[in-house]
Amino acid sequence: MADPLEDLQTAVERGEGVNFVPCLKWVRRGVAKSDPDKVKLSPEELAAIIEQTGGALKDIELDEESEGDENADPKQEKMNGEDVNTKDNIDEKGEKDINKEYDMDNYDDDTKDGDGGLGIGSLVTFADPKLDPYLSMKRSASGNQNEDLESNSDIEDMKIKPTDNLVLVGHVEGNASILEVYVYNDVEDAFYVHHDVLLPSFPMALEWIGYSPEGEGGKQGNLVAVGSMGPVIDVWDIDLVDSLEPDFSLGTKAKKKKKIKGYGHKDAVLCLAWNRNAEHVLASGSVDQTVLLWDLNGATIASTIKAHKEKVQTLAWHPFEAQNLLTGCCDGYARLFDCTSENTYKQWKVDGEVEKVLWNHFNPFTFLVATDQGTVQLFDARQEDKPLWTLNAHNEGVNGMSLSTQCPDCLVTGSSDKTIKVWDISDDKPTCIQEQNLKLGTLHSLEGCPDAPFVMVAGGDKQDNNLKVFDIREYAAVRSRFGNRSLKNPLKYTDFGYTTANDAEVTENIDQNTSDSYNDLVNGTKSKDVEMSDKTDTFPKPDSGGAAKKFLKKTKKKKKQF
């Protein structure tokens, strides 16, 4: 299967360019500020940040040198001064050889400044651009810099509407790692980048956090936790534009030169899960084979889970029970932990390394497990035996898996075989309704929109097209199977506004293509093959929980495209 961590390491080692989306996350409607804040720094504040960043990059460089010098000859350790190679820099006439002294033969080679190859250590030197002699800046007719660059349209695009969802995208392009914040509006058919953040390391996992640990008891927030190839989890404020540093971080990296011990994970963070029922709790899984439960109020570790025998790749809190945490590991086991008792758990052996785990919020006693062998299995948490069914879903690993938030038994999977598939899992024998190649390359990530139950976003590794938002109702087979199915809303997201999908829109625009110590923390507050079927199931009418605007697929010009 496609392992983002291994793919990145291999590409970097070979010096290859990479461009893919390893992780993404939706943000619910109504939680983002309508007018996001913007960072405004004085020259003095910016100068301080530049100096601090330079020092941090120097520390990273020293740490890398110390790691590389652990087995070095002690005599060579003393030869780190500026005139170590003085004799080597003297030519036959006894004069300095400039070519050797300044290594002019390798002058054009790429170098790393201890910053992961980003080369940003000396990118910014002057806090006040006026002091930079190499920077020529155009001014507007009024004399104010960049005054004429912001149009009314730009100002309007910066506003977040109540009907907007945000899509958080971890994007790796070359040596650059970026957190991109997109606006998606299904009513206006809009999808564009709102703002982005330059990340210090390759993102491996994103998790939205609707809680802000400010003040006693915290409050509603709009944050995103970023797990990366480093051990530290950075938490960014999505409502803050042009942010230069995270709101706070979970854990610290060990610094051998300064003899500072690390706190938290010791290796790359591969998965994150926020607990909606205990909002100050975040779980993280790592290459170091542990799961940490973080108390966001103090950025401290509340509990450590050490039952795993390999790297932990996926996590999922139970949708309604705060203490139950589901994990998936490369040792081929899915485990369910009761976090009220330390390392108390059940486990299930699955067909391969676990890539994704997912609770069925329509039947919360059951959960789904996807593996690197392309299988999806359904288990009952009350039974420690065989799966209820095993689905040979894909030819390669399943890297993304999403259940519709409001349409019962509608499952979508994404795979390294470059396809997504839509499934009806209402029967003992799951049925494939649609298979489609999204032309995004290998699919690394997939997730369903919480407020629009048929809208998905997927990320791949195709150089010129690796991100797509799509509505599965545009496939005729999906519309035929799920169009009349009664909707439910157990997770209490924004209600779709209609009893069924067919009530929401006309059929003229449908695509006819059918091919292709945790107690205190919480209280602190049978194998089946795939076959095609035209059977349609119905479910009881759902409870009314409000209405969203009518979803109509109209042909509109996108404001911006990825």
In the block, tokens 């194998």 appear at: 527
How many domains does the structure of the chain reveal? 1
- From the list 411, 387, 386, 384, the residue with the least C-alpha distance to 398 is 411
Domain membership flag for residue 443:
no
Domain membership flag for residue 59:
yes
pLDDT bracket for residue 4 (50, 70, 90): low
Domain membership flag for residue 121:
yes
Q: Identity (one letter) of the amino acid at 344?
A: T
pLDDT at 148: 53
pLDDT at 391 over 80: yes
pLDDT bracket for residue 414 (50, 70, 90): very high
Greater confidence (41 vs 87) lies with: 41
pLDDT at 285 over 80: yes
> How much is the average pLDDT of 298-315?
96
Indicate the range of 92-106, 285-299, 337-351, 482-496 predicted with least confidence: 92-106
CA 498 – CA 505 distance, rounded (Å): 10
| Mean pLDDT of the residues in the chain | 79
DSSP assigned state of 438: -
CA 510 – CA 433 distance, rounded (Å): 15
Q: Cβ contacts of residue 81 below 8 Å, gap of 6+?
A: none
DSSP assigned state of 6: H
pTM: 0.76
- Listing DSSP states for 54-82 in one string gives HHHHHHHHHHHHHHHTTTS-HHHHT--ST
Helices (H) then strands (E): counts for the chain: 7, 30
The pair of three-digit structure tokens given for residue 397, joined into one six-digit string: 């690993």
E strand spans, 394-544:
398-403, 410-415, 419-424, 431-437, 445-448, 455-459, 467-471, 527-528
- From the list 31, 49, 29, the residue with the least C-alpha distance to 39 is 49
pLDDT bracket for residue 552 (50, 70, 90): very low
> How much is the average pLDDT of 6-22?
67
pLDDT at 557 over 80: no
CA 366 – CA 55 distance, rounded (Å): 50
Strands 240-241 and 37-38: parallel
To which H or E segment does residue 155 belong? helix 152-158
Q: Please state the separation of Cα 448 from the chain's center in Å.
A: 13
pLDDT at 52: 67
CA 332 – CA 478 distance, rounded (Å): 32
pLDDT at 129: 58
- From the list 304, 398, 321, 399, the residue with the least C-alpha distance to 359 is 321
Greater confidence (169 vs 53) lies with: 169
pLDDT bracket for residue 77 (50, 70, 90): very low
pLDDT bracket for residue 257 (50, 70, 90): confident
Indicate the range of 216-230, 258-272, 344-358, 380-394 predicted with least confidence: 216-230
Domain membership flag for residue 29:
no
pLDDT at 66: 60
Whether the Cβ atoms of residue 413 and residue 448 lie closer than 8 Å to each other: no
DSSP assigned state of 104: G
pLDDT at 521: 58
pLDDT at 336 over 70: yes
The pair of three-digit structure tokens given for residue 278, joined into one six-digit string: 């205990």
CA 93 – CA 353 distance, rounded (Å): 65
pLDDT bracket for residue 370 (50, 70, 90): very high
> How much is the average pLDDT of 529-533?
31
Indicate the range of 72-76, 87-91, 383-387 predicted with least confidence: 72-76
To which H or E segment does residue 50 belong? helix 43-68
Domain hosting 51: range is: 40-64+109-148
Domain membership flag for residue 507:
no
Which range has highest mean pLDDT (33-42, 120-129, 186-195)?
A: 186-195
pLDDT at 535: 31
Whether the Cβ atoms of residue 194 and residue 157 lie closer than 8 Å to each other: yes
Angle at the Cα of 152 from the Cα atoms of 149 and 157, rounded to 5 degrees: 95
pLDDT at 259: 76
Domain membership flag for residue 46:
yes
> Which conformational region is residue 520 in: left (phi greater than 0), alpha (psi within -120 to 50 degrees), or beta?
alpha
pLDDT at 559 over 50: no
Domain membership flag for residue 133:
yes
pLDDT at 290: 97
Tell me the pLDDT tens digit for each residue of 136-170: 555 444 455 555 545 566 677 789 999 999 999 99
Indicate the range of 73-77, 153-157, 353-357 predicted with least confidence: 73-77
Domain membership flag for residue 70:
no
> How much is the average pLDDT of 384-400?
94
Q: Cβ contacts of residue 94 below 8 Å, gap of 6+?
A: none
